[in-house]
Each structure stands twice: as C-alpha cells, then as structure tokens.
Amino acid sequence: MKEINAKKIILMIADALIISALGGFLNLMFMWIDISRNVSVGNAFHIEWSTLTLVIALEVLFCFFALNVSGAYAFFWRLMGKGDYLRCVLGTTVGFGLSVSLMIFFGVFDNGFPLLLLLAQFALSLVAMIGFRVYAKKTVVKLTEVGRSENYERTLIIGAGRAAMMILTDIENAKKDPNNPSRNILPVGLVDDDRSKLGSKIMGVPVLGNSADIPQLCKQSSISLIVFAIPSCSEDDRQRILALCSQTQCKIKMVPYLSQLLFDDGNPQLLNQVKDIRIEDLLGREPITFDKEQTKDFVEGKVFMVTGGGGSIGSELVRQIAKYNPKQIVIVDIYENNAYDIQQELMLEYGDSVNVVTLIASVRDYEKMDRIFDKYRPEVVFHAAAHKHVPLMETSPEEAVKNNIYGTFNTATLAEKYLVEKFIMISTDKAVNPTNVMGATKRVCEMIVQYKAQHADKTDFITTRFGNVLGSNGSVIPLFRRQIENGKPVTVTHPDIIRYFMTIPEAVSLVLQAGAMAQGGEIFVLDMGEPVKITTLAENLIRMYGKVPYRDVEIKFTGLRPGEKLFEELLMNEEGLKSTENKKIFIGNQIAIDEVDLLEKLSRLRKFAENNDSDGVVEMLSEIVPTFNHKTNR
C-alpha cells in the first residue's frame, strides 16, 4: 500500500497547489480589474487577502475530503480511465460546493459574494487537476518504458501469491546466468482479484489491477507475455481469466495445475515448468482424473498387445502401460514410421527396463495375427487399429469395412481363441446414430465385441466410447495450427458445428480404467462435459498466436463434409447409463445381439468389400446398422 499512499500524497499536494495558486492568481487579476474600474467594495470582483486565505483553506480541506470519499485518490496510474476522471469532477464539485455553502452560512462574504471569482477558480482548478492527472499518467507509463529493449519480454503475471513470488525469484536468479533464456523476461506488473493487494509490490513488481484490467494493462504497458501463475485456480475462474487473456495479442504461458507441479528437494524451479498455453486449457473443464493404483494393479506383470500401437491413441496407450511395469508390450502396426517412433521413444525413456516388441502387421491378415498371438500370448489386448478419417472413408467405404470391421473381427476371434483375459476396443461417438461410413463401421465393431461378449467364457470383451481427441492424427487442432503458421485461412465446415473433446492422455486413462474395472460386455462412456463450438476453438487458437480472428486470420466456412454431423452423440436411444466408482465414467446398458443374423450379414458384407463394391458396402452397412442415416447431415 506504500505506493498508493505516496501517489495519494503527491496528488493531494498537487491539488492543494492548483487550488491555492489559481485562487491567488485570479484574485490578483480581479483586483487589478477593480482598481481600473474604481469600484466600491460591495461591487468588487476580488476579496480581501485575509478572507482569501480562509476561502482557499476551506476549499482545499473540503476538496480533499470529497475527492477521497469519491475514490479519486484510489486508482493506479496505468489504470486511470474515464471513471477516475469523473470521480475527480464529482469530488471537486462537491468540495467547492460544501466549502462555499459553509462560508455563506457563516457570513464570510458579508462584503459581497465573489461569484465570478469562485466560478473561475472552480472551473480552472478542475481543468488543471484533470490535466495534471493525465500528464502524470503519461509520464509514469513513459518512465516504465525507459530501458525497454527488443531483447526483453515485457511480462504481466496473473496472480500475486506464492507462485508469482517463486517465478519472480526464478527470473531474478536467471539474470545471473547469461545463457539462461529467462534472463530476458522483464516483469512489468502483476494482477490479482484480491483488492487488498492493489498497489502493493512483490519483489519490487507492483500489483497493477485485477483480472478484469488485463486487456487494458497489456495495451497500456506494452505487454508481450502473460504468465498465468495461479496453479490452484478453480476451473471457472481459469476459463474466465483465460478468455480475458485471449482478447490481447500476448503470448500466454501457464503454471501447471497444483497436482502437476514437480518439486525437487523443496526447490520447484517453477519458471522451468511454465508451459505455453494449450488449446485444451480453454475447453472449460478440469482434466479427468483416474485411480492410478487400480490401473497399476491391472497392468503390472502382464503381457499387453496394442494394435495400431503407433497411432495417436495407441502410442499413448503404450506410454501409459509402460509406466506400470508390464511384463511385455507388443506393438502391432501396419505403418512402420509410427511404430518405429514409439519404439525409439520407449527405448530412450526406459532402456531395457521395459520389454517392448514392435511388429509390422495388418489386423486384416488373420494368419499373421494368429502367429503373433500364438507366439506372444497376450493377456490383455487393446484394439486401437482403425481407419478413422471420415471424408476418406466416404470415398473408400470398402477399405473401412476391411480394416475396421474385419480387423476387429480377426483380433477379437484370436483373443477368444488364445484365452486373452480382456479385449478392449476403442470406439467413437460417431458410432452412435452414424451418418458416415466410418461411424457405421465402428458401430458394427461394437456389435462384434458385444456378440463375442455374449458367448465368450474366458475373455472379457469391452468397448470404450469417447469423442474427439485433441492433437490426434486427423483432429482439427493440428490442421488449424498449420493453416495459421502458413498464413492461410482457418477452415471450419460450419459456423454452428460442435464437438465433445478430450485430451489424448484423458482418452487413454479412460481406456485403462475401463480395462481395470470391466467384467465383460460393457460399453464405457466418458462424461466429457459441455460440447465445444469448433468456431470458438478456432478463434481461441488464433488469439493464442497473438492474432485477431477475422482481421489477421480469416475463418472460412467450407460447408459440412459428406457424412458429417453438426453434433455428435455419446449414447444410442436404447442405451441407458449406469454410474461407476469413477464419477466421470459411465456404462451403457448392453444391447442384445442376434448372433445368427449378425454373422450372416457380415458374411454378405465381406463379399461386397472383397469385390470393392462401394454401393453394395454402404447398402449392407445400412442393413446391419438400422440407425445409419447416410444421406442426411445433422
């Protein structure tokens, strides 16, 4: 509060000098006029100097009181705006009015009321007091620019608590190391919604305002970097503050959630853990948490097979399984580059401590997969291999059938043959009332898993269903990033299209948790919170690049693609929901499968697919999946 008190004293002195100087100057000027007019005392414009001293003293006293009550002394220079100038007008008017009223009541002006003098003094004092504030504001802001260099990143820190203090300490220590990139961070100020902190300082850096002031502060103080330093912030407040940050053109960095901070012997080096804001930070919900002990008990000491193990979901499955000491991980993928990447990543991370086998094979090839099952005898199979790009599968439906449906049928059949303990299939919300070939094939995959679950004795067959995964191959975020970085318009199919989103780690944690708690036949569904409007997602991502949507980066609406819905669903009409021990995971009720009918239709579908008959494939899919509406985009 010392800085606010110092500012208040400066303003009070300035106000007193302005009122006094103008009172004396105007009285002297009017005295010269009266002398030239040779008027009597009762008609004079000026007043006696002894009376003027009393008048000025009362004006200053009452103006101090009124300005203080109106809040005209309770702002910070950089934040001064129209409201503060209006408070100055109000305080000055009330102060002059009270002082003059009191002087009239006590008969100070018995020799004549100097109306012209008092009006001129009030008007000129008001103009001078506001002018001084405007000049002082510009001077203070200009002084903060002294020493500014292109090598320094002018930084605003959100939060004036312990995390901010630790960051400022790290910044100070970084200055001693010429090779530390953080030495170029220049903390200009902090913001905090605790009003008692306004005007205080942390390690010499002032608290400039509250979160609502972020856009204004960033503009006035030439901020280029915002550091969000409230690791324990509630999700609602986090989203509200990040929305304000996204209105600026600043880079935004985040201190991780409190539970994600790493502390090393009491020295957290918090600045090193500050990361670029991620698009998932703007989704509007907290990260989903899972029971790690249950997952550890499920994984430890077992042989795992992950089909599609090099893909976005499959590779994350492999990463998380590797953390819990499995006996062996068998990665199966047809795409050698992805398989090689995850293999090398695990070797670098774990060396020989994790037994990883990487195999290039297609789930379409029953004979090859049979040999793999026979040799490695997996105890748990995660089936993530699938064609999933909606537009591509619309033009090649027979390929979606061959890979998704018969790849699933092959692996599920082999899991049953080799007495795998659990077979977990990765599904999608696009399987619910599908409007595209990819979604229809995934619904057939779900039916196959449920069919297997109905008569399997030794193997638990499970389906996990969730929405879009941020950052996965084919998701909108990598596409949007490429478009922005290449200076191209961001393409969104429809202004009203919405989707459920989750992160890849969340999706994989759901799959592992489902595998741990499954007893066979379930369809596990994640409560993914509120759906997100894709247009909003695009706008936020553009702002994260420090650009303004529609001005710096165009958003072009291209129209719904073949088979694309405006919204996705997570449950079919026939399915209800049962809660589980994890409040974010639910189980859809099992739907009975007519095994004879399903197998007969799958046989016919296979013939269409093998003959590459696209029309026949789509027609047959519609017969197997009655809710498949291929002609209507919704």
Residue 274 host element (H or E): none
- Residues 394, 561: Cα–Cα separation, whole Å: 10
- To which H or E segment does residue 276 belong? strand 275-276
Question: Which residues, 6 or more positions from 345, have their beta carbon under 8 angstroms from its beta carbon?
Answer: 315, 319
Which burial class, exposed, middle or buried, applies to 77 when counting CB atoms under 10 A from its CB (0-12, 13-18, 19+)?
buried
Q: Which of 137, 402, 430, 601 is catalytic?
A: 430
DSSP 288: P
Q: Which run of H or E residues covers position 556?
A: strand 555-557
8 A C-beta contact, residue 630 and residue 430: no
> Which string of b and e fits 440-456 if b means at least 16 CB within 10 Å?
bbbbbbbbbbbbbbeeb
**3-state SS assignment for residue 469:** strand
- Which helix (H) or strand (E) is 470 found in, with range? strand 468-470
Q: Is 430 a catalytic residue?
A: yes
Q: How far is CA 75 from the centre of its chain?
A: 30
Sign of the CA dihedral running 449, 453, 455, 460:
positive
Core vs surface per residue 112-125: b (16+ CB within 10 A) or e: eebeebbebbbebb
**Distance from C-alpha of 187 to C-alpha of 182, rounded to nearest angstrom:** 11
Query: Rounded to whole angstroms, how far apart are CA atoms 375 and 367?
Result: 12
3-class secondary structure, 614: helix
> Which residues are marked as active site?
430
